[in-house]
């Protein structure tokens, strides 16, 4: 079993839809949770960064962490075609550097 | 300011040749990471440098892979006697001291024929 599981998709939604992207993990030591967005032939860019459980909102993006269920989510409201990309979840523990990435979910937002 | 830069952006080589990939991290970032991303796969950790500490090489897949970081800045990833399975995008990232957020370069797309 991988430390971080993420459905690779693809996920296709119409413009304006609410998108839900999720990851599950097995290591209870993870404390830092991140979402990266990766456009085709580009490096990943940091989208959201949260510590421990709870919600964090930034514009159209909301990140949720449920440590009791070892489950994290990224919600995108009013999705746009420019949101079409691969979204990778990532997590790491305290006192350590190693960040474990999910395989990424490929999202297509249709105009 | 300038982000992480990598060169070359694309590299095509023949099986058995050696290749060198370069990474210039963001100025002031003491941590530097190398990852490998194969088609449809997540990021595979290769090696981590932090300041003057000994690098963590636990992710290097074989002794054909090595990396160095000179002067705490530029890093070079070397793959000797390349194999077709080495074909992938090699990504470099850097981060500030004691921070988990990593900033990635655009990657080097390596194709081994």
Say if residues B72 and B30 touch (Cβ distance below 8 Å): yes
Minimum Cα–Cα distance from B59: chain A residue: A98
DSSP symbol at A69: T
More confident residue, A8 or A23: A23
B76 Cβ contact list (under 8 Å, min separation 6)? B20, B21, B22, B23, B67, B68, B69, B70
Which of B35, B48, B103 comes nearest A97 by C-beta? Answer: B48
Task: State what percent of residues in chain A have pLDDT above 70.
Answer: 97
* Chain B closest-CA separation from residue A7 CA (Å): 11
Confidence of residue A96 (pLDDT cuts 50, 70, 90): low
How far is B104 from A42, CA to CA, in rounded Å? 9
Better-scored residue on pLDDT, B39 or B79: B79
Contact between chains at A42 and B107 (C-beta distance less than 8 A):
yes
Beta bridge partners of B36: B44, B90
Alpha-carbon distance of B17 to B3, in angstroms, equals 30
Residue pair A4/A102 in contact by the 8 Å Cβ criterion: yes
Phi, psi of A92 (to 5 degrees): -150, 165
Cβ of B103 and A97 within 8 Å? no
Mutate to test the interface with A, among B56, B100, B101 (most CBs of A within 10 A): B100
pLDDT of residue B70: 84
Lowest mean pLDDT among A8-17, B15-24, B46-55: B46-55
Interface touch B105/A97, C-beta < 8 Å = no
Which positions 31-70 of A are in contact with B (Cβ < 8 Å)?
32, 34, 36, 41-46, 49
A52 interaction partners in chain B (CB closer than 8 Å):
none
Yes or no, beta carbons of A44 and B4 under 8 Å apart: no
Residue B83: band (very low, low, confident or very high) from pLDDT cuts 50, 70, 90: very high
pLDDT at B87 over 80: yes
- Supply φ then ψ for residue B84, to 5 degrees: -60, -30
Report yes or no: A97 and B94 within 8 Å, Cβ to Cβ.
no
- Omega prior to B8 cis, within 30 of 0: yes
Q: Contact B43/A46, CB-based, under 8 Å?
A: no
Contacts of B17 (CB under 8 A, 6+ apart): B81, B82
| More reliable by pLDDT, B90 or B28 | B90
| Closest Cβ opposite residue B50 in set A43, A45, A97 | A97
DSSP string for B47-112: EEEETTSPPB-TT--STTEEEEESTTS-EEEEE-S--GGG-EEEEEEEE-TT----EE---EEEEE
The pLDDT > 90 percentage for chain A reads 79
Instruction: Average the pLDDT over B18-32 and give the result.
Output: 95
Tell me the two tokens of residue A71.
Answer: 């489950």
């Amino acid at each position: 079993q991988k430390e971080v599981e993420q459905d690779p998709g693809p996920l296709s939604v119409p413009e304006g839809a609410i998108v839900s992207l999720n990851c599950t993990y097995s290591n209870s030591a993870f404390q830092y949770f991140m979402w990266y967005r990766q456009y085709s032939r580009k490096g990943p860019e940091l989208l959201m960064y949260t510590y421990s459980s709870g919600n964090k909102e930034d514009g159209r993006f909301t990140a949720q962490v449920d440590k009791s269920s070892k489950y994290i989510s990224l919600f995108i409201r009013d999705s746009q075609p420019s949101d079409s990309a691969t979204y990778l979840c990532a997590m790491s523990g305290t006192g350590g550097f190693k960040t474990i990435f999910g395989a990424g979910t490929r999202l297509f937002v249709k105009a | 300011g300038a982000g992480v830069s990598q060169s070359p952006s694309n590299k095509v080589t023949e099986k058995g040749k050696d290749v060198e990939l370069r990474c210039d991290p963001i100025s002031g970032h003491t941590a530097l990471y190398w990852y490998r991303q194969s088609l449809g796969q997540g990021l595979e950790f290769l090696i981590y440098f932090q300041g003057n500490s000994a690098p963590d090489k636990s992710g290097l897949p074989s002794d054909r892979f090595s990396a160095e970081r000179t002067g705490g800045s530029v890093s070079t990833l070397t793959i000797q006697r390349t194999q077709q399975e080495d074909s992938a995008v090699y990504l470099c990232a850097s981060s500030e001291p004691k921070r988990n957020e990593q900033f990635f370069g655009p990657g080097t797309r390596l194709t081994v024929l």
